[in-house]
Amino acid sequence: MDVISVIRTKRDRGRLSDEQIDWVIDAYTKGEVADEQMSALAMAILLNGMDRAEIARWTAAMIASGERMDFSSLPRPTADKHSTGGVGDKITLPLAPLVAACGAAVPQLSGRGLGHTGGTLDKLESIPGWRALLSNDEMMGVLRDVGAVICAAGDGLAPADKKLYALRDVTGTVEAIPLIASSIMSKKIAEGTGSLVLDVKVGSGAFMKNREDAAELARTMVGLGTDHGVRTVALLTDMSTPLGLTAGNALEVRESVEVLAGGGPADVVELTLALAREMLDAAGLKDADPAKALRDGSAMDHWRRMIAAQGGDPDAALPVARERHVVTASASGVLTALDAYAVGVAAWRLGAGRARKEDPVQAGAGIEMHAKPGDSVTAGQPLLTLHTDTPERFEYALAALEGGVTISPSGTAYEPQPIVLERIA
């Protein structure tokens, strides 16, 4: 085998053989295939696609590149959740302790930001002392003691995906459905969870811009999970508008704590509860009431214990950016659009995301939203507050927001989009 022939096969719209897939994943994991060569193959896959058999084999090869975990010794049923990524999508933060408070074990392996979408680990690392990297023994210990853990996949778990995940972020290949499906499912299957709920985003702020592509991705992943014995369900959810009122690492942690305290934005609470119910149902805990766990403080208790178990201080002050810039309403009327992609790119440019895989992120960078679509606004009213440590970024971020905010005349009817669009099982 040689990598050039593998690239040419997919470049010329051919079908990769099982042998080609097994070889290229193994060789890339070992460092025998260079990043620029895998970048070329990833772009060819994005442009020309893969059939179901190719995706299944690619996923199996990713799993085979490392170890598999086993949670059968835990006294609770396991349930996990994965989001395909969005703007302001901090749902994992309140969701994991909430589901744990209801009796399930949540082994949540999460990632870092991809492109304009935020990363769960980047958000949690804004908490002083919190550690994303845990050994398998540490992860099992937190699961036994707390019931929920959010951490990075270990080096032994699908190591091929760890390399390819970072590469996709900086080579314009994030949106490839075969690569998204295999990346997510290789980690989740190798992780060993008994059930999995997928939050597949659709809209301007998602990698899947239209519902048909999102449904295709959801069906592909549900099929991969089912074939490997993992009870898998997917929800298609709206990402045309950012979730909640914040986009950025520490900003989103603050908002997540508000949700766990019984408050927070209505859309974040609604989606958190919808996913919690799906996870509990898949885990066989149909009678559990996640809304009650938010009200009675048990979800917050599990959050504090989870953060402390991973070295974090749940009472510590979160980082705050040194500089702010307020964007005001240009006219009075009804805010009828706040484009998720524009907000996500602006937050990324402020320092909340990374342009290269080795780049750091600013914990305090991001955007606060003071109004959401459907709200009445007056000229000069604050709409957005931009946060960054580096004020020279403001101009670049403001350019991303051009055309992303629409204010219609007063009295304009606004029909909100439902958050959950479809369920695929």
> Hey, which residues are catalytic here?
82, 161, 168, 183, 187
In order of 88, 171, 279, 365, the CA distances from 236 in angstroms are 16, 26, 15, 28
Other CB atoms within 10 Å distance of the CB of residue 330: 12
Please identify which residue in the block is written with the tokens 């510590």.
316
Position 205: which residue type?
G
The Cα diameter of the chain in Å comes to 66
Please identify which residue in the block is written with the tokens 């000229």.
379
Alpha-carbon span 350 to 345, nearest angstrom: 9
**Residue 235 pairs with which residues in a beta bridge?**
199, 423
Contact 18, 57 (CB under 8 A): yes
Nearest to 243 by CA among 218, 211, 266, 209: 266
Alpha carbon 312 to its chain centroid, in Å, reads 21
Please identify which residue in the block is written with the tokens 């524009």.
342
Which pair of tokens denotes residue 375?
Answer: 């709200």
Contact 266, 241 (CB under 8 A): no
